[in-house]
Amino acid sequence: MEVIPHWLTKQAYLAPEQVAIETEDGQMITFLKLQQMSESFAKKLAHLGITDKSHVGILSTNDPLMVVAIHALSYIGATCVLLNTRLTKNELNFQVTDAQISLILTNDDMYDHVRAMQFEVPTYSFSYVDTLKEKASVLKDELHLNDVFTIMYTSGTTGLPKGVVHTYGNHWWSAIGSALNLGLNRNDKWLAPLPLFHVSGLSICIRSVIYGIPIYLLKKFDAKIVHQAIMKKGVTIASVVTVMLQRLLDRLKGARYPSSFRCMLLGGGPCPQTTLEQAKLKHIPVFQSYGMTETASQIVTLSPKDALSKLGSAGKPLFPGQLMIKHPDDQGVGEIFVKGPMVTKGYYRRDEENNRLFQDGWLATGDLGYLDQEGFLYVIDRRDDLIISGGENIYPSEIESVLSEITEIKEVGVVGKKDETWGEVPVAFVVPKVKTLTKSYINTYGRKFLASYKIPKDIYFVDQLPRNATNKLKRHVLMDWVHKKN
């Protein structure tokens, strides 16, 4: 098991005065300050009884104090469970129980909202914890790369979300793989308009500390602010999803980003060809990528130099990563398997699934794709029936299982529908038991249990659902139906 110095302590020692976090309202936190704040916060958490055995939930919109809290947990050696702020109480409750969380931390913006949810475990705001006394405690000065650092939930085909366990090593190797791919300049500044509770956002925090570069942290995506940051704030790399890129393209109009802006890292699902072509016309260095929570962010990336000749490809796997297409058909299409030290070792307390999905270090992604002759990956179908909407993953089965609880519904099938803004949105086919069932009734019920981005944007009443001989829902027929209706 490899051991490295604690990455924040190390960076605070190497570059104490370097800016670690810069915010849209002009706040600047150096690595030394970030270390001091994080160590102090760790000792205050210790006062609350948090130890290296604790699982602590963080339910926060982007906030420098959220970064402090995450690092503080690493100083204690506690496990940090990152919770999606858009989820309903029911969705969160499942994760709180499943991840065995003993305490939830929130930022001030979220505090009232979270308090109202009345979780069974204590909930404190970062600023409340900050008022506590520090408890004398031994903080970690080293990180063991095999130790668990974070858990993040991702939905699955079964409908039950699974906690993806990331070790320090997973995050470390992901950061190194990205640096070997994109290079590393002393003047880099990485813009994070993505939520830190997703791996796409969190990974920027980790890279910041390992590379010794600032993260330009936004509360949330705002095209105007991102545009300004790229134009005037020295941002050199930005992580975005397709809908963000599209809004930025609209805002850019005829202007051009500074030449020091060297990478628009595009993740979170497929991107329409027209968007890529527009970006090319506007000289935006778009790096398409393929990744998932399980791979601790991008594991396959396409550089701009190949963007045009390999349109639609996600690129090649990053240096420490490997990729394999298993059981390819005549056209070379098969299931995508990934392997590498950035790939999670498994889901939290899901032995059966872990045994099934992980073989000899290879993870079955469930996605379908093929490699061209030069080894570029083309993803042709996302895992099972995954819907990706504005970068958020949605599993139809999760929506189906909630809506089928409505007594007036006989059965329900959900699929994704193409959407100009979000890429895809979920739509539902419902076989009602009673004629009086209305769409608004279904949606009102759904909102109690499902995050808003999971609420079907269209509901179609039908007489029956297409099923095969073994009674399995033929989702591709539903997709054809959607196609015909639009």
Question: Contact positions toward a second copy, by CB under 8 A?
Answer: 2-5, 7, 10-11, 13-14, 142, 169, 173, 176, 179-180, 183-186, 210-212, 316, 319-322, 339-341, 361, 375
Q: Report the nearest approach of a second copy to the CB of residue 172 (Å).
A: 9
Q: Report the nearest approach of a second copy to the CB of residue 32 (Å).
A: 11
Looking at the Cβ atoms of 163 and 321, the one nearer to a second copy is 321
At 213, phi and psi to the nearest 5? -125, 155
Q: Tokens at residue 146, please? A: 């095999």
- Three-point CA angle 443, 444, 449, nearest 5°: 90
Q: Report the nearest approach of a second copy to the CB of residue 310 (Å).
A: 13
- CA-CA distance, 18 to 393, in Å (whole number)? 35
Q: Is the dihedral of CA 447, 427, 267, 94 positive or negative?
A: positive
Q: Report the nearest approach of a second copy to the CB of residue 336 (Å).
A: 16
Answer whether 62's CB lies under 8 Å from 38's CB: no
- CA-CA distance, 27 to 136, in Å (whole number)? 29
Looking at the Cβ atoms of 2 and 112, the one nearer to a second copy is 2
Q: How many other CB atoms are there within 10 angstroms of residue 420's CB atom? A: 8
Looking at the Cβ atoms of 173 and 216, the one nearer to a second copy is 173
Tell me the one-letter amino acid at 93: N
Q: Report the nearest approach of a second copy to the CB of residue 277 (Å).
A: 24
Looking at the Cβ atoms of 9 and 95, the one nearer to a second copy is 9
- 265 beta partners: 239, 287
Answer whether 59's CB lies under 8 Å from 92's CB: yes
Looking at the Cβ atoms of 189 and 383, the one nearer to a second copy is 189
- CA-CA distance, 167 to 344, in Å (whole number)? 7
Q: How many other CB atoms are there within 10 angstroms of residue 216's CB atom? A: 27
Q: What is the phi-psi region of residue 51: left when phi exceeds 0, alpha when psi lies from -120 to 50, beta otherwise? A: beta
- Residues near 378 by beta carbon (within 8 Å), at least 6 away in sequence: 312, 313, 314, 369, 370, 371, 372
Looking at the Cβ atoms of 113 and 283, the one nearer to a second copy is 283
Q: Report the nearest approach of a second copy to the CB of residue 326 (Å).
A: 16
Looking at the Cβ atoms of 186 and 253, the one nearer to a second copy is 186
Q: Report the nearest approach of a second copy to the CB of residue 23 (Å).
A: 25
Looking at the Cβ atoms of 100 and 322, the one nearer to a second copy is 322
- CA-CA distance, 31 to 14, in Å (whole number)? 9
Q: Helices marked H in 238-369 — which ranges?
A: 242-252, 273-281, 304-307, 351-357
- CA-CA distance, 127 to 383, in Å (whole number)? 40
Looking at the Cβ atoms of 11 and 344, the one nearer to a second copy is 11
Q: Report the nearest approach of a second copy to the CB of residue 5 (Å).
A: 5
Q: Report the nearest approach of a second copy to the CB of residue 302 (Å).
A: 12
